[in-house]
A and B are shown apart, each in its own frame.
Chain A
Amino acid sequence: MFDRIFPPKQIPLPSGKIVLEKHSRTPIILLLVCLGIYFALQLTQFNLSQLLERWDQFFVIVADMLPPRWSHISTIWQPLLDTIKMSLLGSFIGALVALPIAYAASTNIVKQPVITGLARVFLSLLRTLPSLVTALIATFIFGLGTFAGTIAICLFTLSYVGKLLYEQIENADMGAYEAMESLGMTKGQAFRQAIFPQILPNYLSTSLFCFEGNVRYAAILGYVGAGGIGLLLNEGLGWRDYAGVGMILLVLAITVLLIESVSEHFRKKLL
């Protein structure tokens, strides 16, 4: 299409062969991006002068957070532990459930296109919903509290791990699997003995990575009433108790850092 409007330049080589030099697409892409930026600026009421004038307001809350109120820590422990437990349980269940669904979604093992198609549509539909929206819906169905948060985390983990897992199953070496099937093993047995050991390290590492992210997500799930430390955070923000919020954020940052470094250590060992 583009080449027909701007025909490529023809360069005859000394050998008599004609080489086509296509025109660069950069100008047209640049134009599109500029147009996009212009309309986005209009649509979001972007206002640079306001930003330059009032940027210091951003640090008002930051300044209020410092120094954090250390005495707040006694009330933080329990919700923090709840958050960690919530994301651990959610990730665990989600990763477990992801295994059979990924099995059903991989085309090299399940030969019926209807089943693989259904499993894939299910996974991508789950993946599209932001976890906070899932949590919001879960609080409406299961009531306020950690249970709704666990469900939201579980669904998110399921969609994420499930997708990566079925891609790994499809890339696995099928030789041993076929050999075992020809020996008379059932599909499930052959999967367990031949494919599962191949994907196990990656599966565990993905699940761990997901757990890392989930701790951070779980922290804000409280915003919609799904339990954990987010509830406390929301309360602090509502009361404008920024010193307390600063303490929560500090504890959260340390926790996330710790969990990330531990899980990174194990992930490096796994791969």
Chain B
Amino acid sequence: MNQIEQKLATTPRNYRYLLTISLIIVGLIIWLLTSIQVNGLESNGWTIAKSILTGIFKPNLALLFALNQQGIAYLLLETIAIAFLGTLIGGMLAIPLAFLSASNIVTKPVAYLTRLLLIVIRTVPALVYGLMFIRVTGPGPFAGVLTIGLTSIGMLAKLYVDAIENLDISIFESMSSIGCNTFEKIRFGIVPQLFSIFLSIIIYRFDINLRDAAVLGLVAAGGIGAPLKFAMDSYRWNEVGSILIGLVILILLVEWFSTKLRRKLVTGR
């Protein structure tokens, strides 16, 4: 028996461990399957799937290129506007909350309470906020802006906190030793460290918000979601196709652009 075979013989044999784990997983899946009602395809499921596909390949070109208020271009622009303003509002509101929940800035209990508040804000689904804001502003894109603003706070603050807790504190000592006042310390010590990271986080969230804004239309909060649902409910598949094409192209473009921008912000290239 040579050395390699000896080494092979000493490898741990954990078949029993693996067997237990796989048994647990198989059991879990069987239990999970019990609650999924696989009632087969809807009787006309195939025809619908086919019509969606033909709708995508034969979109309603007039709608796709129309420039009036029902046109895809206008709806997409509205969706972008909602996501943009909402992200700005959320990004600003999240800054104080992030500082309040950073454990190296405030005391533990305050940080803990703010975190709890953030979790509560984060778990309420966006659609529920949408309904609440419609009470304030009436249906329309304005409600969408406020909803997006409120829902982005949770994640933005969570990501900000990571940046704040990684602040390089030693800079302050050298700044006070050369005689900077508090304002100068914040302006030249904290802001440069956080600004690009915060901006990169905000752009990332804008990406997500664009998708959320597209969905919010379902509760009449503006954007492209409502026309999509109406078109589907009335089986106008080539309209559905043109809306989906517009949405996919927009999101791909924004994603490509934001990845480029964020790479430049973070690495400087």
Chain A residues with a Cβ under 8 A of chain B: 36-37, 39-41, 43-47, 50-51, 54-55, 57-58, 60-62, 81-82, 85-86, 88-89, 92, 124-125, 127-130, 132-133, 136-137, 140-143, 145-147, 150, 216, 219-220, 223-224, 230, 233, 237, 245, 249, 252-253, 256-257
Contact = CB atoms under 8 A, between A and B. Distances in A.
B215 A133 contact: yes
Contacts of B211: 128, 130
A129 B215 contact: no
B136 A40 contact: no
B82 interface: yes
Nearest to A130: B211
A47 to B, nearest CB: 6
Given A88-B32, A224-B218, A143 B45 contact: yes
B131 interface: yes
27 contacts: A40-B85, A43-B77, A43-B78, A43-B141, A44-B145, A45-B142, A47-B142, A50-B136, A51-B146, A58-B136, A81-B35, A125-B248, A128-B247, A128-B255, A133-B215, A133-B228, A141-B45, A145-B37, A146-B37, A147-B38, A219-B125, A220-B127, A223-B127, A233-B128, A237-B128, A252-B123, A253-B124
Q: Is the interface of B mostly helix, strand, loop or mixed?
A: helix
A230 B137 CA distance: 24
B144 interface: yes
Contacts of A81: 35
A133 B141 CA distance: 19
B255 to A, nearest CB: 7
Given A92-B29, A142-B45, A51 B137 contact: yes
A141 B42 contact: yes
B266 interface: no
A141 B49 contact: yes
Given A43-B81, A44-B144, A147-B39, A133 B123 contact: no
Given A44-B142, A51-B146, A85 B32 contact: yes
The CB with the most chain B CB atoms within 10 A, among A54, A132, A216, is that of A132
B50 to A, nearest CB: 10
Given A50-B136, A92-B32, A128-B251, 7 more contacts: A46-B85, A51-B136, A51-B146, A133-B244, A141-B48, A146-B37, A256-B119
A128 to B, nearest CB: 4
Given A132-B218, A257-B119, A40 B37 contact: no
A216 B77 CA distance: 28
Interface in B121-159: 122-128, 131-133, 135-137, 140-142, 144-146
